[in-house]
Structure 1
């Protein structure tokens, strides 16, 4: 049986708690309890909560990028790949684990914690823009499509879809937003 290391358990516990409770609601004690690790173990591996949160946010960002790249770098037309990304299985009512961090004032006030969030969204916009430019250049999308602003719109619709779905208590508004942005992309 594979035994997960204490630092990995601490990082995974922090990731889960950040997604559920945000930075302020994630106490060192809650992290230790969920990870099954003592205070000494936590401070042996990490200098404190900000260091552990940075490792957790970084891991979440890396996993998100890898999952997105697998879809956007895969086969199909630009619209098929963007559609596959937007329609992939998600825990809509939990929100985006990176996007939710933007609503956390302590994360946004700390340049080190904010950096992986900013970088992930910048990467996502750039990656989507590249796929859209490829589709435009291949004639799959209209010649007048501007990939940068269109990619920014897709990211904004996706993140807004999470917020509206959470407010409504149902994933339906999220799926409607995805359907709407894809209908706009499919117009001649």
Structure 2
């Protein structure tokens, strides 16, 4: 029983260390040795739980993707109008200068070259677009949003604003660029009565 708990603990530490290192350094910069050091785990422990770096990275990416979806769902599935829920999603607390832990992986050539590692990234961004499109469609159906809007196009615009806002903020070294992008989008989306 003791060894099972230690084994699970080592597996968790390895996944969490890999998540942080992928976010900070990307796939190429995340070596097995760096993972083991960050996790306080030995090489034997790593290869006991995972088939290698790609297997461990996949577990870490999946966990990060699951957490991103859960955080988005908390606000998108919450109370309020369509606009209020989209606003809550756009304004929720983020580490803007670090960027999106899933979105950043799209810039990692090794992740994109690997169909297996790319799948949870693509699935998560696809889920987010579909979930946002559902909220936008609610707003269109209720008359909250008007005009020739496509729910899918607007959802993609929201995702692109967030991901692009991260890029602008990181390039400038200031979250102000992200905040400006979000403010601009919210002004465009604001229901007519709020303008």
TM-score (norm 2): 0.93
Shift >3 Å, 4+ stretches: none
Is 1:89 paired with 2:82?
no
> Alpha-carbon deviation of 1:90?
0.5
Q: How far apart, CA to CA, are the structure 1 residues paired with 2:165 and 2:87?
A: 15
After TM superposition, the structure 1 = structure 2 runs for residues 22-101 of structure 1, keeping only pairs within 5 Å, are: 22-101=26-105
Task: Name 2:171's counterpart in structure 1.
Answer: 167
RMSD over aligned CA atoms reads 1.2
Q: How far apart, CA to CA, are the structure 2 residues paired with 1:127 and 1:175?
A: 22
Task: Name 2:152's counterpart in structure 1.
Answer: 148
Task: Name 1:115's counterpart in structure 2.
Answer: 119
Provide, for residues 114-150 of structure 1, a one-character-per-residue CA deviation record: whole Å limited to 9, x for no partner: 0000000000000000000001111111153210000
User: Contact between 1:107 and 1:114, CA under 8 Å: does it hold in 2?
Assistant: yes
> Alpha-carbon deviation of 1:19?
0.3
> Alpha-carbon deviation of 1:186?
1.1
Is 1:105 paired with 2:109?
yes
User: Contact between 2:83 and 2:191, CA under 8 Å: does it hold in 1?
Assistant: no
| Structure 1 stretches lacking a partner, 5+ long | none
Task: Name 2:14's counterpart in structure 1.
Answer: 10
User: Contact between 1:137 and 1:143, CA under 8 Å: does it hold in 2?
Assistant: no
Q: How far apart, CA to CA, are the structure 1 residues paired with 2:182 and 2:168?
A: 12
Q: How far apart, CA to CA, are the structure 2 residues paired with 1:136 and 1:186?
A: 13
SS of structure 2 residue aligned to 1:71: helix
Instruction: Give the total of aligned pairs.
Output: 187
The range that moved more, 86-95 or 178-187, is: 178-187
TM-score (norm 1): 0.97
